[in-house]
C-alpha cells in the first residue's frame, strides 16, 4: 500500500531557536476537511510518547491517556454551537459572552471506548452516556452489533462517539450506522479517538463526509493484524488489565 512516511518536526517552545529544538514524529497530514487533528504541541507529543512506550506501566498509562482524552473532549466541545450570552459580573459590569446551545451525549464503543467516559464526565457534568458493543461474528468474521443502550432522545442530541483506537474503522462505521438509524444526523456526530490510521480515516471520511473526526494523532498505518503502527499496542489491555 502507499503508506505515507512519518513526518518529523521540531518540537519545543517558541522562544527557542529552531536549531536548539529536538525533532519528533508528528501526525501524518490527511486531505479531509472533516478530520481535526489536535495541535502537535510539545505537551501532546510528550503525553503520546508516554502512552506509546511499552515500558509505561498501567497507572501511568491511565494517567497520561486521561490527559489526552481531556484534550480531545475539550476540542470536541469547540465544535458545538454557542449563542450570545450577556452576563453581569460581581462588580456590576456586563460581559458579552456565549453559552452552549443544545444537548449532547457520549456514546462509547465497548470496551476500550468506556475508558474515555470519565474525561467526558469531567468536562460535561451529568452527561448522558450510551454504549454500543460490536464484536466480530465468529461465523462471518464481520463486525456485528451485539448490544446497544442509547438515550431515547438521542436524535435531539449531539453525539460524541468514543473509541480510543481508530484502526480499520469497521466498528466505528457500524456504530455510526446505528446512530444514524436512531435519527442522529451525521453532522451532529463527533468521533473522538487518540490514534487514527490513514486507512481508517479514508474509509470513514468518504462514507461520512459530514461527520467530524477529532483525533490526537494520525499514525503511519496498520500492520498485518490491523494494529496501528507505531501505535501503542492494545489500548483496552493496557488500560484495564496489564
Ligand atoms: N485496537 C487497539 O487496541 N490497538 C490497535 O492498534 C488497534 C485497535
Q: Measured from the CB, is residue 107 less than 6 Å from ligand 1?
A: no
Which one of 60, 136, 207, 223 is the catalytic residue? 136
Q: Which of 4, 78, 28, 36 is nearest to 205 (CA)?
A: 36
Helices (H) and strands (E) in the chain, counts: 6, 14
As a whole number of angstroms, the distance between CA 26 and CA 49 comes to 11
**Which residue's alpha carbon is at the smallest distance from atom 7 of ligand 1?**
227
Count of CB atoms situated within 10 Å of the CB of 208:
21
Asked whether residue 87 is domain-assigned, the answer is: yes
Asked whether residue 3 is domain-assigned, the answer is: no
CATH number for the domain that contains residue 192: 3.40.50.2020
C-alpha 153 to ligand 1 mean position (Å)? 31
Asked whether residue 202 is domain-assigned, the answer is: yes
**ipTM passes above 0.85:** yes
**Which residue's alpha carbon is at the smallest distance from atom 3 of ligand 1?**
234
Asked whether residue 1 is domain-assigned, the answer is: no
Asked whether residue 4 is domain-assigned, the answer is: no
Quote the domain boundaries for residue 234.
9-240
For residue 187, the 8-state DSSP code is: G
**Residue 17 falls in the annotated catalytic set:** no
Q: Which of 102, 124, 98, 91 is nearest to 192 (CA)?
A: 124
As a whole number of angstroms, the distance between CA 182 and CA 177 comes to 9
Write out the chain's pLDDT in tens, 242 residues: 455 568 899 999 999 999 999 999 999 999 999 999 999 999 999 999 999 999 999 999 999 999 999 999 999 999 999 999 999 999 999 999 999 999 999 999 999 999 999 999 999 999 999 999 999 888 888 889 999 999 999 999 999 999 999 999 999 999 999 999 999 999 999 999 999 999 999 999 999 999 999 999 999 999 999 999 999 999 999 999 97
- CA 22 vs. chain centroid, Å, equals 27
What is the domain count for the chain? 1
Tracing cell 475539550 back to the chain, one arrives at 74
Amino acid at each position: 500500500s502507499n503508506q505515507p512516511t512519518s513526518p518529523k518536526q521540531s518540537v519545543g517552545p517558541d522562544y527557542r531557536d529552531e536549531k536548539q529544538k529536538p525533532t519528533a514524529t508528528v501526525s501524518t497530514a490527511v486531505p479531509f476537511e472533516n478530520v481535526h487533528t489536535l495541535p502537535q504541541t510539545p505537551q501532546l507529543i510528550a503525553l503520546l510518547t508516554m502512552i506509546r512506550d511499552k515500558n509505561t506501566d498501567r497507572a501511568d498509562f491511565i494517567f497520561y491517556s486521561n490527559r489526552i482524552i481531556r484534550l480531545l473532549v475539550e476540542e470536541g466541545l469547540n465544535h458545538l454551537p454557542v449563542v450570545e450570552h450577556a452576563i453581569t459580573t460581581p462588580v456590576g459590569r456586563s460581559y458579552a459572552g456565549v453559552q452552549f446551545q443544545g444537548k449532547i451525549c457520549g456514546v462509547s464503543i465497548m470496551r476500550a471506548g468506556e475508558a474515555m467516559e470519565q474525561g467526558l464526565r469531567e468536562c460535561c457534568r451529568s452527561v448522558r452516556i450510551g454504549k454500543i458493543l460490536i464484536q466480530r461474528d465468529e461465523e462471518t468474521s464481520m463486525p456485528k452489533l451485539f448490544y446497544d443502550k442509547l438515550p431515547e432522545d438521542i436524535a435531539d442530541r449531539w453525539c460524541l462517539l468514543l473509541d480510543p483506537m481508530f484502526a480499520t474503522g469497521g466498528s466505528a462505521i457500524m456504530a455510526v450506522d446505528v446512530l444514524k438509524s436512531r435519527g442522529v444526523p451525521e453532522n451532529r456526530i463527533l468521533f473522538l479517538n487518540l490514534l487514527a490510521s490513514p486507512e481508517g480515516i479514508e474509509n470513514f471520511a468518504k462514507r461520512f463526509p459530514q461527520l467530524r473526526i477529532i483525533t490526537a494523532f494520525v499514525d503511519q498505518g496498520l500492520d498485518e493484524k490491523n494494529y496501528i503502527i507505531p501505535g501503542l499496542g492494545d489500548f483496552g489491555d493496557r488500560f484495564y488489565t496489564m
